[in-house]
Amino acid sequence: MPVIKYPRIRDPLFYEWDRKAQKCGLRHTIYAVNGDQYTGEWLDNLKHGKGTQIWKSTGAIYSGDWKFGKRDGYGSYSILDPVTKEYKRVYTGWWENDQRSGSGTFFYPNGELYEGEWSNGVRSGWGKMHYKDGSSYEGQWLMDQPNGQGLLRL
């Protein structure tokens, strides 16, 4: 009885290349077309887990937790000082859906400091603002403005 061999049906090469290109798990540095770079963990081609992102256009760095491609969890955001060429911390705290949320500390460029609660990227909840002149406000905030009970020390 003759044996008939049929050629094996093979998927096009781009299916294999696409499968190999899928980013999942821990990776070394990945460079984007615009020059940004990310080093950290991936899940289904999205930044997920611990990682560090460096934006080429601004020189800013975020190091912390990611969830499905967005900053989510605890992390620190720093910018490059153009004069000293050193990184200055801008925000350290909790993030949710790529915005400041929960408790965190924000360092303003003029030397002022806010420690407290955030919601949707703005000061909301209980917090303490240390002003440049030495005065401080500790109390309730709503929509980035002092609102409700608080104590202003001059």
Residue 47 sits in a domain of what CATH number? 2.20.110
What are residue 96's DSSP bridge partners?
99
Checking if the pLDDT of 9 tops 80, the result is no
Q: H or E element: which one contains 92?
A: strand 87-96
Looking at the structure, tell me whether residues 88 and 119 fall in a common domain.
Answer: no
pLDDT tens column, 14-68: 677 666 666 777 777 888 889 899 999 988 888 999 999 999 999 999 999 999 9
pTM over 0.75: yes
Q: What is the pLDDT of residue 70?
A: 94
Distance, CA of 87 to CA of 51 (rounded, Å): 18
Percent share of the chain, pLDDT over 90: 64
Mean model confidence pLDDT for the chain:
89
| DSSP H helices in the chain | 13-21
Q: What is the pLDDT of residue 44?
A: 81
Looking at the structure, tell me whether residues 27 and 86 fall in a common domain.
Answer: yes
Q: What is the pLDDT of residue 20?
A: 67
Task: Give residue 137's domain range.
Answer: 108-153
Looking at the structure, tell me whether residues 56 and 117 fall in a common domain.
Answer: no
Domain-located, residue 63: yes
Q: H or E element: which one contains 30?
A: strand 25-31
Domain-located, residue 10: no
Domain-located, residue 145: yes
